[in-house]
């Protein structure tokens, strides 16, 4: 089953085909776009021997600004030491809060003369933190700018080294005139992986070049008359001619580092794949000492000790928005202009004009047609404040460049409304993941804090909230010193005031499923799964601990006899379970994703899941990716539920809640479940082919009538998204990175059913949970990066 490993369904979707048609104007509403990296940056063996008379100087020991994690494939021990030395240098020169993962291979090169090659695994665009939403950033640089790992399933950089390179194997930093220095090669190739790379492609047969996903490198590369490489027509002869004519770097930092002169790039008259454009000019910089690192050739005997000031300045340039290029016409009208409801404000979103790259839009002007007030912005979205709740407003959006204005695009009317009232519960924690339960007759809340990496527990004694750190702070008794950034689940068993609270979570490093119990006074810790010696293959009927990544999702239920926890095996795309009764050891099981018999599925399951226990049966609801098309896009998915009484692994029964129709074909993105008056209610998100990859509707149904599916769209509030929470009547969901609530009874009655919960946008989707305090029901969620309680 597992020849293909699917990525998270939360719109970290590879939009290979979609990007082909939208390369000039990425969508303003997608969380981010991702395409695989295919262009390599090489370094060739030069033929001009250099005499090295003194060993390489030791690099100054600086404070590490980033962490590189290198996976070595077939490297001899001496080579690993050289690579690590280069990595250590880069870790003190490249800033990133996200670990940079490098996959390095040692083997024969298919092309004579190549010492090493590197490429980014992916390029990302339109992510939060991107200096220019129209450009494509390498994995490592995108993660650094976003402040999070945009693709946890893959490495960031791939580097290949020619094992027949004629290397200096002594590690003395003094290669002879017939030897090449591996450390220097890695200093060079890591730079390619970090973003020193053009994404152009050149067809030598037809003299045509293309640049479908321009990088910041391409935006800073200019022709002699000032045109940006990123703005030239693609595919075209004009672009091909530019790639074999002089090109210069236009970034301010690099110009300053080069003595006030634009650095010249390597563009020989005959295009050289892997060398042209993506290097400094050989003739200009090969003898420039520290600044010769990024020339296309490394001569025998030549060594580098540092990246050099020019290379570092060019990397720093790419962390900023490049200056606009030369406009070749007026902007066309902005696309998909929308106005969404907000509190005393409106959220305006739009996609850039189709001719974004050639028009060189400098700003957008949003006009309130009721008041005549205008507001300028560089990109979408835009918040227009100072409005009155309950009053209807309409807006126009125009694009502006140096030549003038586009035609205006007009939004539909929107009516601002007040959000829910909030009370801060913990002003020192952002509550990225939250879960709630009733423990010893009082509310209990478990939540994570991104800043500290801790998992916390808040319990209410009837008057005040008492907060303690559960894990993430290190220490003894099974605690971890690693950050906790996973989903959290809570469940309770026992009676009266002698209950036991069960907490499940994962850490960011080991990817294990961790478990803490709390009796009201003290905690006990253990690892449930993920710390096994090997991966427990899905075909193996004997279920034991696995070494897979089991940190993606988890959900638990507790009964009088024990506790059950369910979680995704990220390495194999299956849904696992573990059961503990009394003091007995954990019993492991495979719940779904392994076969098509017995009602099971071979889909990639459990990206999102929740579970409940109704006193007699356990219900686990989860999503599943069923098929991919030839372009590796998700083409069908399902929302499934597994049900059983007791804890026997053979007692499960299964059903799918939804099937593909004309108006919805892909289901999942998130799921939620709740008990409702002796029944079970399930809710999920769905998308149609026309709205893919964004969900465009919320669906729900009762387990007693699974075919009676209700649905609601969210046009006035924005794209619905994870995370979902439900109390049996109200579904809370993310709406354009805010929070909204859907009253299902009003929706079924055909009434206005959606209300704004939180107007401020978050950088990431917000989790929420319901909690009852002194008989009053609240929603627990993040407001302005502080954990808060909200109610209408």
d(CA 468, CA 439): 15
The predicted-structure confidence for 451-503, as pLDDT tens digits, reads as follows: 889 999 999 998 999 999 999 977 677 899 888 988 999 999 998 778 999 99
User: Over 50: is that where the pLDDT of 706 sits?
Assistant: yes
User: Over 80: is that where the pLDDT of 10 sits?
Assistant: no
Domain boundary among 410, 425, 455: 410
**pLDDT for 13:** 33
Q: What is the mean pLDDT of residues 677-687?
A: 92
User: Over 80: is that where the pLDDT of 21 sits?
Assistant: no
Q: How confident is the model at residue 357 (pLDDT cuts 50, 70, 90)?
A: confident
Residue with tokens 């959290």: 488
d(CA 219, CA 322): 6
User: Over 70: is that where the pLDDT of 630 sits?
Assistant: no
* Percent with pLDDT over 90 in the chain: 73
pTM of the predicted protein model:
0.77
Asked if residue 290 and residue 344 are part of one domain, the reply reads no
Q: What is the mean pLDDT of residues 40-53?
A: 89
Q: What is the mean pLDDT of residues 663-678?
A: 85
Position 444 in a domain: no
Asked if residue 193 and residue 303 are part of one domain, the reply reads yes
Q: What is the mean pLDDT of residues 672-689?
A: 91
CB atoms within 10 A of CB 635: 17
Position 406 in a domain: yes
**pLDDT for 53:** 66
* Residues 243/273, Cβ–Cβ less than 8 Å: no
User: Over 90: is that where the pLDDT of 42 sits?
Assistant: yes
**Number of domains within the chain:** 2
**pLDDT for 200:** 95
Structure-model confidence comparison of residues 60 and 220, the more confident one: 220
Domain boundary among 389, 410, 431: 410
**pLDDT for 31:** 58
User: Over 60: is that where the pLDDT of 100 sits?
Assistant: yes
The sign one gets for the Cα dihedral 654, 660, 663, 669 is positive
The predicted-structure confidence for 585-616, as pLDDT tens digits, reads as follows: 999 999 999 999 999 999 899 999 999 999 99
Rounded to 5°, angle at Cα 458 from 456 and 459: 145
Using the 8-state DSSP alphabet, how is residue 659 labeled? -
Rounded to 5°, angle at Cα 624 from 622 and 628: 165
Asked if residue 218 and residue 365 are part of one domain, the reply reads no
Q: Which long-range contacts (CB under 8 A, 24 or more apart) does 694-700 make?
A: 694/11, 694/29, 694/30, 694/719, 694/721, 695/669, 695/719, 695/720, 695/721, 696/720, 697/663, 697/664, 698/724, 698/731, 698/733, 698/742, 699/658, 699/664, 699/667, 700/726, 700/731, 700/744
User: Over 50: is that where the pLDDT of 750 sits?
Assistant: yes
Written as six digits, the tokens of 24 are 């000039």
| Average pLDDT score over the chain | 90
DSSP run (H or E) holding 85: helix 77-91
Written as six digits, the tokens of 398 are 């125009």
Position 141 in a domain: yes
Q: What is the mean pLDDT of residues 734-741?
A: 92
Asked if residue 126 and residue 206 are part of one domain, the reply reads yes
Asked if residue 76 and residue 223 are part of one domain, the reply reads yes
d(CA 648, CA 659): 29
| CB neighbour list of residue 292: distance below 8 Å, 6 or more residues apart | 280, 285, 286, 304, 308
Name the burial class of residue 787, with classes exposed (0-12), middle (13-18) and buried (19+) by CB atoms within 10 angstroms of its CB: buried
The predicted-structure confidence for 150-162, as pLDDT tens digits, reads as follows: 998 899 999 999 9
**pLDDT for 61:** 59
User: Over 60: is that where the pLDDT of 337 sits?
Assistant: yes
Phi and psi angles of residue 73, each rounded to the nearest 5 degrees, phi first: -120, 105
Written as six digits, the tokens of 414 are 């929107």
Position 473 in a domain: no
Name the burial class of residue 693, with classes exposed (0-12), middle (13-18) and buried (19+) by CB atoms within 10 angstroms of its CB: buried
The predicted-structure confidence for 127-154, as pLDDT tens digits, reads as follows: 888 999 889 999 999 999 999 999 988 9
> Which domain CATH number covers 353?
2.60.40.10
Position 245 in a domain: yes
Alpha-carbon dihedral 596, 598, 603, 605, rounded to 10 degrees: -160
Position 328 in a domain: no
User: Over 80: is that where the pLDDT of 173 sits?
Assistant: yes
Position 116 in a domain: yes
The predicted-structure confidence for 361-407, as pLDDT tens digits, reads as follows: 999 999 999 999 999 998 889 999 999 999 999 999 999 999 999 99
Q: How confident is the model at residue 60 (pLDDT cuts 50, 70, 90)?
A: low
Residue with tokens 């007995």: 584
Residue 402 sits in which domain range? 335-410
Written as six digits, the tokens of 504 are 């499940």
Phi and psi angles of residue 11, each rounded to the nearest 5 degrees, phi first: 70, 15
d(CA 98, CA 68): 9
d(CA 150, CA 120): 13
Asked if residue 165 and residue 87 are part of one domain, the reply reads yes
Asked if residue 160 and residue 124 are part of one domain, the reply reads yes
User: Over 50: is that where the pLDDT of 3 sits?
Assistant: no
Cis bond leading into 235, ω under 30°? yes
Which segments within 254-309 are labelled E, that is strand?
Answer: 297-298
Domain boundary among 410, 434, 465: 410
CB atoms within 10 A of CB 627: 11
User: Over 90: is that where the pLDDT of 657 sits?
Assistant: no
Asked if residue 372 and residue 310 are part of one domain, the reply reads no
| CB neighbour list of residue 127: distance below 8 Å, 6 or more residues apart | 31, 32, 137, 142, 145, 146, 150
The predicted-structure confidence for 295-308, as pLDDT tens digits, reads as follows: 999 999 999 999 99
**pLDDT for 2:** 33
Q: 8: closest CA among 673, 669, 763, 569? A: 669
d(CA 757, CA 724): 13
Residue with tokens 């209990």: 444
d(CA 543, CA 589): 6
Q: What is the mean pLDDT of residues 427-453?
A: 93
Asked if residue 374 and residue 309 are part of one domain, the reply reads no
**pLDDT for 635:** 67
Position 620 in a domain: no
Asked if residue 386 and residue 244 are part of one domain, the reply reads no
Q: How confident is the model at residue 763 (pLDDT cuts 50, 70, 90)?
A: low
Written as six digits, the tokens of 253 are 């930092």
The predicted-structure confidence for 311-333, as pLDDT tens digits, reads as follows: 999 999 999 999 888 888 999 99
Name the burial class of residue 717, with classes exposed (0-12), middle (13-18) and buried (19+) by CB atoms within 10 angstroms of its CB: buried
Q: What is the mean pLDDT of residues 94-110?
A: 92
**pLDDT for 209:** 94
Structure-model confidence comparison of residues 625 and 59, the more confident one: 625
**pLDDT for 379:** 86
* Percent with pLDDT over 70 in the chain: 94
Asked if residue 249 and residue 202 are part of one domain, the reply reads yes
Asked if residue 219 and residue 84 are part of one domain, the reply reads yes
The predicted-structure confidence for 219-249, as pLDDT tens digits, reads as follows: 999 999 999 999 998 899 999 999 999 999 9
CB atoms within 10 A of CB 414: 25
């Amino acid at each position: 089953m597992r020849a293909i490993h699917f990525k998270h369904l939360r719109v970290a979707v590879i939009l290979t085909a979609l990007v082909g048609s939208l390369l000039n104007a990425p969508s303003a509403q997608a969380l981010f776009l991702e395409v695989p990296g295919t262009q390599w940056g090489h370094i060739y063996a030069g033929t001009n021997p250099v005499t090295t008379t003194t060993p390489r100087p030791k690099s100054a020991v600086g404070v590490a600004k980033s962490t590189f994690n290198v996976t070595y494939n077939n490297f001899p021990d001496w080579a690993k030491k050289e690579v690590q030395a280069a990595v250590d240098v880069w870790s003190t020169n490249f800033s990133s809060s996200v670990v940079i993962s490098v996959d390095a291979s040692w083997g024969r090169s298919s092309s004579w003369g190549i010492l090493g090659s590197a490429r980014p695994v992916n390029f990302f665009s339109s992510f939060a933190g991107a200096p220019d939403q129209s450009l494509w950033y390498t994995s490592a640089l995108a993660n650094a700018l976003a402040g999070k790992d945009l693709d946890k399933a893959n490495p960031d950089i791939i580097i290949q080294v020619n094992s027949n390179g004629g290397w200096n194997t002594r590690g003395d930093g003094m290669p002879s005139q017939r030897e090449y220095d591996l450390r220097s090669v890695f200093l060079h190739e890591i730079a390619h992986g970090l973003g020193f790379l053009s994404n152009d492609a050149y067809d030598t047969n037809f003299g045509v070049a293309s640049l479908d996903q321009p990088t910041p490198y391409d935006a800073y590369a200019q022709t002699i008359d000032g045109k940006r490489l990123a703005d030239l027509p693609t595919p075209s002869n004009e672009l091909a001619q530019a790639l074999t004519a002089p090109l210069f770097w236009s970034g301010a930092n690099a110009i300053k580092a080069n003595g006030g002169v634009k650095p010249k790039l390597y563009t020989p008259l005959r295009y050289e794949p892997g060398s042209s454009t993506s290097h400094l000019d050989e003739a200009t910089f090969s003898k420039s000492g520290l600044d010769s690192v990024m020339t296309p050739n490394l001569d025998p005997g030549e060594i580098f000790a540092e990246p050099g000031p020019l290379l570092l300045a060019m990397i720093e340039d790419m962390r900023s928005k490049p200056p606009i290029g030369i406009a070749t016409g007026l902007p066309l009208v902005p696309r998909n202009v929308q106005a969404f409801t907000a509190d005393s404000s409106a959220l305006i979103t739009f996609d850039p004009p189709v001719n974004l790259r050639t028009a060189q839009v400098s700003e957008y002007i949003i006009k309130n047609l009721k008041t005549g007030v205008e507001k300028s912005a560089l990109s979408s979205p835009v918040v227009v404040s100072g409005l009155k709740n309950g009053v209807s407003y309409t807006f126009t959006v125009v694009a502006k460049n140096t030549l003038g204005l586009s035609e205006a695009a007009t939004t539909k009317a929107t009516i601002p409304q007040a959000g829910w009232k909030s009370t801060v519960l913990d002003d020192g924690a952002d509550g990225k993941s939250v879960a709630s339960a009733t423990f010893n007759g009082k509310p209990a809340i478990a939540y994570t804090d991104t800043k500290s990496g801790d998992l916390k527990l808040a319990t209410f004694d009837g008057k005040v909230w008492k907060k303690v750190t559960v894990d993430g702070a290190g220490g003894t008794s099974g605690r971890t010193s690693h950050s906790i950034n996973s989903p959290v689940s809570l469940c309770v068993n026992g009676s009266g005031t002698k209950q036991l609270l069960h907490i499940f979570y994962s850490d960011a490093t080991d990817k294990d499923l961790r478990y803490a119990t709390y009796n009201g006074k003290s905690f006990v810790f253990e690892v449930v799964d993920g710390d096994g010696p090997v991966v427990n293959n899905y075909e193996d009927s004997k279920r034991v601990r696995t070494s897979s990544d089991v940190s993606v999702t988890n959900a638990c239920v507790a009964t009088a006899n024990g506790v059950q926890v369910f979680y995704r095996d990220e390495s194999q795309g299956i849904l696992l379970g573990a059961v503990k009764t009394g003091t007995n050891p954990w019993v492991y099981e495979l719940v779904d994703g392994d076969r098509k018999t017995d009602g099971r599925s071979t889909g990639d399951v459990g990206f999102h899941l929740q579970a409940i226990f109704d006193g007699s049966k356990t219900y686990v609801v989860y999503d599943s990716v069923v098929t991919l098309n030839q372009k590796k896009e998700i083409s069908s998915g399902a929302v499934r539920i597994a049900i059983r009484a007791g804890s026997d692994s053979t007692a499960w029964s299964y059903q799918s809640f939804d099937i593909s129709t004309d108006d919805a074909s892909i289901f999942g993105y998130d799921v939620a479940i709740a008990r409702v008056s002796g029944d079970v209610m399930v809710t999920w998100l769905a998308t149609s082919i026309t709205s893919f990859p964004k969900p465009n509707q919320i669906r729900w149904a009762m387990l007693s009538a699974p075919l009676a599916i209700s649905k609601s769209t969210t046009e006035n509030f924005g794209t619905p998204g994870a995370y979902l929470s439900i109390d049996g009547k109200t579904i809370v969901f993310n709406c354009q990175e805010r929070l909204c609530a859907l009253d299902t009874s009003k929706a079924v009655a055909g009434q206005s059913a959606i209300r704004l919960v939180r107007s401020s946008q978050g950088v990431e989707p917000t989790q929420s949970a319901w909690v009852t305090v002194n008989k009053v029901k609240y929603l627990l969620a993040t407001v302005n990066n502080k954990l808060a309680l909200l109610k209408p």
